[in-house]
Amino acid sequence: MVRFGNFGYSLPILFIANPGDPEFRTHHCVTAARVENGPDGRRVRLHFTPSPSARDSDWEGDVFLDSSTSVQHRIEFALHVNQRDGPRRLEGYSTFRSLSPLIVVPDTAAAMWWRTGPTRDGAWGPPHVVQVIRLDTLKYQREKPPS
């Protein structure tokens, strides 16, 4: 998960395909699922955690699906840290936009991480890095999909 190189470390941010990837499903457990009212109507919340056998750092968080279409709208994630080097804490989210009933694209991804652990009293303080990526415009090569 956390890759170390000459210039520090890197790790992927969760996007729409990750929960459907067989390797992701092999290394994670869905521990809770429920229907709830969200800001955009009823949605299904799936909570995932690294499998108990995970030795490396890995993701835990929640996936939010539209309850009527099963289209993914948001992933909230946090890094479950199991290494001595690299980030001490990382959390963020990715949101998705539905262009038509079967086409969903990433809209916004935001992450923040801490390079050091909490203080003696357990407080984390502000993050050391905050990064936000947002879809500003979308240009269609041929024609806009039906809505």
Taking only the tens place, the pLDDT of each residue in 38-84 is: 887 889 998 988 888 777 778 889 999 888 888 888 999 998 787 77
Query: What DSSP assignment string belongs to the chain?
Result: --EEETTEEE-PPP-TTGGGSHHHHHTEEEEEEEEEEETTEEEEEEEEEE-TT--S-EEEEEEEEETTT--EEEEEEEEE---SSS-SEEEEEEEEEEEETTEEEEEEEEEEEESS---TTS---S-SEEEEEE------SS-PPP-
Residues 91-108 pLDDT 10s: 999 998 888 777 888 889
